[in-house]
Amino acid sequence: MAGLTDIRNELAELLKALGHPDRVRLVEELNGSEKDVQTLSDTLGVRQARVSQHLAVLRASNVVEDRRDGRHVLYRLAKPTLAAWIILGGATLVDARPELGEDLNTPDEIRLVLEEESEEKDEKNRKKQ
């Protein structure tokens, strides 16, 4: 099936697709439950068309899948572990806490720690519609 090189190329594609703040955010929002475009648009404070564009990128890279429900289209993560992986990266790689990488190896643990520490500081950072 897939040799190492193939996996690497596909992984690079995946990483590139995720390499945008809005799209990282989308993955976070889709963690756990599927959501429709309007909800995502409202939550992120990003126009609907732009959200659809982002979702198209994520769909092309197999990050998300969608299903239609009436007029709405619901998006979900194609791989349930993706969000945890992303958040793990954020906690251990960006936020300079290698100690988390050592001891907290399950996604849930990482997520909890991250949220506890940074949630309230983020109140003011909402974009405007």
By CB under 8 A, name the binding residues for a second copy.
Answer: 2-5, 7-21, 23-25, 28, 79-82, 84-86, 88-90, 92-95, 98, 101-102, 105-106, 114, 118-119, 121-122, 125
Distance of CA 43 to the CA centre of its chain: 14
- Nearest approach in angstroms of CB 71 to a second copy is 30
Q: Is 34 in the site for DNA (CB under 7 A)?
A: no
User: With contact defined as beta carbons under 8 Å apart, do 58 and 12 qualify?
Assistant: no
| Cβ-based nearer residue to DNA, 56 or 93 | 56
| Cβ-based nearer residue to a second copy, 50 or 72 | 50
- Least Cα distance to 26 among 70, 59, 4, 72 occurs for 59
Half-sphere exposure of 24 (CA within 13 A, CB side): 11
